[in-house]
């Protein structure tokens, strides 16, 4: 999730005093105030609202929410001037097929504004841009560029320019191999025989999206007044929305928006396009979903407070909103404008019969029986490490499920509970003995998940644990059979291990832990334990 930081002074000057009421308002708008001090304030923006990822975008929406500037905000769009053209070459089709572009003029940049633009660009890249995979954004100083612009794909060695934060010319491949930003995003162009570039009328390379701009023609400074903006990617409607977010934000900063003509083969299109999409909103649907009794006038007012225009059961959606897919999205905005705090919670009359999962009931009964024997229940992670699951237990590394790119040492799903109980005993050698513990939990046997019970006592011998197994069996009114095993787990002592069966089906083992295993775990007391699969028991008792 993305957080946006901006000046508290600016907020208080342009929006209002940040008192407790205002703090609450910000949260109730759906942008939790994460922190603030005298200088700055930071809000959290949910991924459905990239249009709030800058101060000016937030201000536009929040002023409407406060009832100060309601309805769909209009921005003047100036028609393309001469050469305000982007020629899209068919060579980009297989690399990065779409772009949406605009020119903004008359900006007065200062450090503060440049920072806001750069921050917004970065956050848009991260969120709806999907780390530049879906959308890459470029902003260029118009004074360094000769229009018209061409969007095309070139072979990597034919691309030569000085990338940002560098002082020498590099080829397309060199940028991916050597430049820090190039290395970070190289995977986005991996396997492509041609890389996309924007060039100007003098064939200067402006940028190589989605990687990097040119140091010469692609860097906005304090003296920049006019900019060329492009979004490139794979989803034209989303690119348009993204362009709308950026251009209206620049307009909020004082710029004038100019459209550009996109020429592709023989087709021409114009971007940006602010004509609002319309969506039907049915009063009855809204009231029934929210449990309210709003009239049309109220719905109109509420929608206007969320930045929409409303007319005759139809809402005009701001062209920078990316999250309105269905009427329910409008209804949620009505609810936000109404105020979540004003809804009166009410449990409906839906008569149903409650019921707990049978397995949970059986597990609870088993726990009750064992707690009655003064045994303590423990609870471990479902993930474990190979060292603890296999090496310390002398078990062969097989039949396990590994998770990909775990951020910790826990990389596989546990195959049994036994090794975790030994781990606990090894971590508690300073606690008072005897130690008696059990765990009820899920294990992962290849792709099958099973509920197991494991119990360990220290110091204890075979007899002690067998008595517990037999007690448990009797109390559950089941007929466990203790039998001589054919094969024993490598961590138990041969001759002191028994197989536990239910209806002649093997369900587990009980026995004394071999000293070599105790040594692996640095346990200095004898341990006897058992582990059984509960699935057969569930079947029997259900």
Number of Cβ within 10 Å of residue 486's Cβ equals 7
- Contact with another protein (CB under 8 A): which of 147, 535, 540, 541? 535
Encoded tokens for 459: 């110091």
Cβ density class 36-56: b for 16+ within 10 Å, e for less? beeeebebbbeebbbbbbbbb
Q: Does 419 contact another protein by CB under 8 A? A: no
* Minimum gap (Å) between residue 65 Cβ and another protein: 11
* Minimum gap (Å) between residue 359 Cβ and another protein: 7
State which residue, 29 or 228, has the beta carbon closest to another protein: 29
Q: Does 360 contact another protein by CB under 8 A? A: yes
Stretch that binds another protein, among 179-187, 326-334, 462-470, 490-498 (CB under 8 A): 326-334
In the region spanning residues 428 to 447, those forming contacts with another protein, defined by CB under 8 A, are 428, 430-432, 435-437, 440, 442, 444, 447
In the region spanning residues 93 to 132, those forming contacts with another protein, defined by CB under 8 A, are 130
State which residue, 191 or 354, has the beta carbon closest to another protein: 354
Q: Does 184 contact another protein by CB under 8 A? A: no
Roughly what angle, to the nearest 10 degrees, separates helices 283-290 and 296-305?
80
Strand 160-161 versus strand 267-271 pairing type: unpaired
- Contact with another protein (CB under 8 A): which of 74, 81, 157, 427? 427
DSSP conformation class of 340 = G
| Coil vs helix vs strand at 463 | helix
Compose the 222-261 pattern: x for residues touching another protein by CB under 8 A, - for all others.
Answer: -------------x-x------------------------
Alpha carbon distances (Å) from 346 to 59, 337, 340, 341, 358: 34, 20, 14, 14, 31
| Contact assessment for residue 507 and residue 501, using Cβ atoms and an 8 Å cutoff | yes
- Contact with another protein (CB under 8 A): which of 353, 396, 398, 504? 353
Q: Does 398 contact another protein by CB under 8 A? A: no
DSSP string, 169-191: -EEHHHHHHHSHHHHHHGGGGTT
Q: Does 38 contact another protein by CB under 8 A? A: no
* Minimum gap (Å) between residue 336 Cβ and another protein: 5
| Cα dihedral 422, 403, 409, 489 in deg (nearest 10) | 20
- Contact with another protein (CB under 8 A): which of 6, 11, 43, 49? 49
User: Which residues is 451 bridged to in the sheet?
Assistant: 442
* Minimum gap (Å) between residue 79 Cβ and another protein: 29
Q: Does 30 contact another protein by CB under 8 A? A: yes
Encoded tokens for 144: 């360094």
How far from the centroid of its chain's Cα atoms is residue 460's Cα? 48
Element (H, E) at 13: helix 8-14
Stretch that binds another protein, among 152-160, 206-214, 500-508, 531-539 (CB under 8 A): 531-539
Residue 329, C-beta contacts closer than 8 angstroms, at least 6 positions apart:
323
Q: How many residues does the chain have?
A: 542
Q: Does 289 contact another protein by CB under 8 A? A: yes
Q: Does 367 contact another protein by CB under 8 A? A: yes
- Contact with another protein (CB under 8 A): which of 377, 397, 494, 503? 377
Q: Does 486 contact another protein by CB under 8 A? A: no
* Minimum gap (Å) between residue 43 Cβ and another protein: 13
* Minimum gap (Å) between residue 422 Cβ and another protein: 12
Could you tell me which of 453, 479, 448, 467 has the C-alpha nearest to residue 541? 479
State which residue, 268 or 382, has the beta carbon closest to another protein: 382
Could you tell me which of 424, 466, 464 has the C-alpha nearest to residue 441? 424
Stretch that binds another protein, among 101-109, 158-166, 175-183, 372-380 (CB under 8 A): 372-380
| Contact assessment for residue 142 and residue 103, using Cβ atoms and an 8 Å cutoff | yes
What region, left, alpha or beta, does residue 540 occupy, with left being phi > 0 and alpha being psi -120 to 50 degrees? alpha
Q: Does 294 contact another protein by CB under 8 A? A: no
Q: Does 22 contact another protein by CB under 8 A? A: no
Q: Does 326 contact another protein by CB under 8 A? A: yes
* Minimum gap (Å) between residue 69 Cβ and another protein: 20
| Contact assessment for residue 491 and residue 395, using Cβ atoms and an 8 Å cutoff | yes
Q: Does 408 contact another protein by CB under 8 A? A: yes
Q: Does 386 contact another protein by CB under 8 A? A: no
Q: Does 348 contact another protein by CB under 8 A? A: yes
| Coil vs helix vs strand at 115 | helix
- Contact with another protein (CB under 8 A): which of 311, 343, 467, 479? 343
Alpha carbon distances (Å) from 456 to 50, 91, 393, 422, 508: 54, 68, 15, 8, 14
State which residue, 30 or 80, has the beta carbon closest to another protein: 30
């Amino acid at each position: 999730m993305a957080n946006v930081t901006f000046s508290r002074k600016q907020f208080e000057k342009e929006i209002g005093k940040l008192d407790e009421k205002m703090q609450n308002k910000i949260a109730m708008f759906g942008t939790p105030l994460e922190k603030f001090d005298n200088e700055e304030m930071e809000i959290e923006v949910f991924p459905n609202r990239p249009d709030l990822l800058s101060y000016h975008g937030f201000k536009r929406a929040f002023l409407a929410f406060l009832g100060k500037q309601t309805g769909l905000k209009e921005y003047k769009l100036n028609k393309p001037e001469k050469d305000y053209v982007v020629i899209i070459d068919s060579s980009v089709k297989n690399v990065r097929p779409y772009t949406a572009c605009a020119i903004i003029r008359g900006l007065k940049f200062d450090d503060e504004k440049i920072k806001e633009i750069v921050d917004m660009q970065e956050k848009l890249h991260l969120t709806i841009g999907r780390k530049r995979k879906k959308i890459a954004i470029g902003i260029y100083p118009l004074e360094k560029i000769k229009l018209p612009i061409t969007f095309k794909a070139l072979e990597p060695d034919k691309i030569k320019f000085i990338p940002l934060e560098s002082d020498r010319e590099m080829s397309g491949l060199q940028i991916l191999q050597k430049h820090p930003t190039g290395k970070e995003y190289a995977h986005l162009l991996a396997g492509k025989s041609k890389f996309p570039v924007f060039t100007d009328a003098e064939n200067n390379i402006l940028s190589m999206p989605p990687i990097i701009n040119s140091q010469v023609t692609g860097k906005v400074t304090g003296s920049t007044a006019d900019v060329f903006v492009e979004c490139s990617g794979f989803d034209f409607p989303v690119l348009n929305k993204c362009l709308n977010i950026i251009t209206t934000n620049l307009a909020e900063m004082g710029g004038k928006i100019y459209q550009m003509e996109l020429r592709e083969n023989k087709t021409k299109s114009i971007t940006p396009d602010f004509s609002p999409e319309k969506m039907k909103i049915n009063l009855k649907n809204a009231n029934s979903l929210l449990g309210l009794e709003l009239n049309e006038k109220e719905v109109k007012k509420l929608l206007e407070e969320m930045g929409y225009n409303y007319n005759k059961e139809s809402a005009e959606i701001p062209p920078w909103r990316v999250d309105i897919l269905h009427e329910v999205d409008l209804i949620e905005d009505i609810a936000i404008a109404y105020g979540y705090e004003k809804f009166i919670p009410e449990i409906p009359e839906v008569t149903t019969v409650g019921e707990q999962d049978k397995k949970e009931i059986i597990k609870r009964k088993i726990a009750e029986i064992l707690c009655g024997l003064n045994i303590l229940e423990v609870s471990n992670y479902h993930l474990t490490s190979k060292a603890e699951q296999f090496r310390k237990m002398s078990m062969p590394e097989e039949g396990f499920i590994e998770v990909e790119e775990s951020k910790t040492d826990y990389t596989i799903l546990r195959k049994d509970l036994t090794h975790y109980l030994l781990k606990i005993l090894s971590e508690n050698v300073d606690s008072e003995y005897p130690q008696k513990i059990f765990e009820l939990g899920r294990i992962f046997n290849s792709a099958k998940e099973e509920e197991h019970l494991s119990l360990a006592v220290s110091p204890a011998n075979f007899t002690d644990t067998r008595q517990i197994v037999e007690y448990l069996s009797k109390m559950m009114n089941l007929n466990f059979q203790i039998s001589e095993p054919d094969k024993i787990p490598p961590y138990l002592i041969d001759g002191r291990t028994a197989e536990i069966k239910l209806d002649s089906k093997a369900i587990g083992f009980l026995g004394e832990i071999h000293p070599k295993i105790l040594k692996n775990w640095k346990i200095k007391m004898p341990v006897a334990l058992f582990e059984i699969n509960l699935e057969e028991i569930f079947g029997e008792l259900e």
